[in-house]
Amino acid sequence: GAGVSQSPSNKVTEKGKDVELRCDPISGHTALYWYRQSLGQGLEFLIYFQGNSAPDKSGLPSDRFSAERTGGSVSTLTIQRTQQEDSAVYLCASSSIWGGELFFGEGSRLTVL
Amino acid sequence: QKEVEQDPGPLSVPEGAIVSLNCTYSNSAFQYFMWYRQYSRKGPELLMYTYSSGNKEDGRFTAQVDKSSKYISLFIRDSQPSDSATYLCAMRTNSGGSNYKLTFGKGTLLTVNP
């Protein structure tokens, strides 16, 4: 596609449920990033992929969060046993080269009731 | 102290005004500096990208970096209602294994009134 595509755009879930958020990066972009944007906060780095490998998972808030990337393309961020503090906008970005300009998707807005 | 500090505003100005947005940072390892614009319910988009101290101009936008003071600014001339958005500063290092990671300010919400 022309840009980074994320789905779902909005997700409302109940506390304790698992959610999956999907990111489809710009074709050919090898680097993929997940950030979280909470109300009143800046973007918080979660994880970075180079190809299918995640050399840096240091930003994942807890072991309830995991992410994978397959075929060097689509990535899925999974949050298990969601908590209310997980409510945020989850943004995905991709870049053509390591350290290059990041192109962001529109985000997945997660609300945990 | 957070690594990057940015006044969240909100900032409201009349159309045509000059807008000044600022960030300070504490990590002297930051070498690359960016400004992103984020419209409501959209993803951030890159506006300006600078490396060296000094000014960089692009149309109505000027990015300024003062590494000695650890201070960066974005100036918008002849502001337009279409400039109404949240402006985020971001920065990263140039060395080590984490120079892909951007550290963002909280963003400043700007409204330009017609």
Q: What is the DSSP string of B13-58?
A: EETT--EEEEEEE--TTEEEEEEEEE-TTS--EEEEEE-SSEEEEE
Dihedral, A41, B93, A33, A93 alpha carbons, nearest 10: 80
Instruction: Band the pLDDT of A56: cuts 50, 70, 90.
Output: confident
Note the pLDDT tens digit of each residue in B24-43: 999 998 989 999 999 999 99
Judged by a CB distance cut-off of 8 A, whether residue B86 touches chain A is: no
> Are B90 and B100 in contact, with CB atoms under 8 Å apart?
no
Judged by a CB distance cut-off of 8 A, whether residue B21 touches chain A is: no
Contact A106 B104 (CB under 8 A): no
Contact B107 A42 (CB under 8 A): yes
Note the pLDDT tens digit of each residue in A13-54: 999 999 999 999 999 898 999 999 998 778 999 999 988 888
Name the DSSP letter for residue B75: E
d(CA A35, CA A47): 7
Distances (CA, A) of B12 to A12, B72, B79, B87: 33, 20, 11, 13
Q: How many CB atoms within 10 Å of residue B61?
A: 17
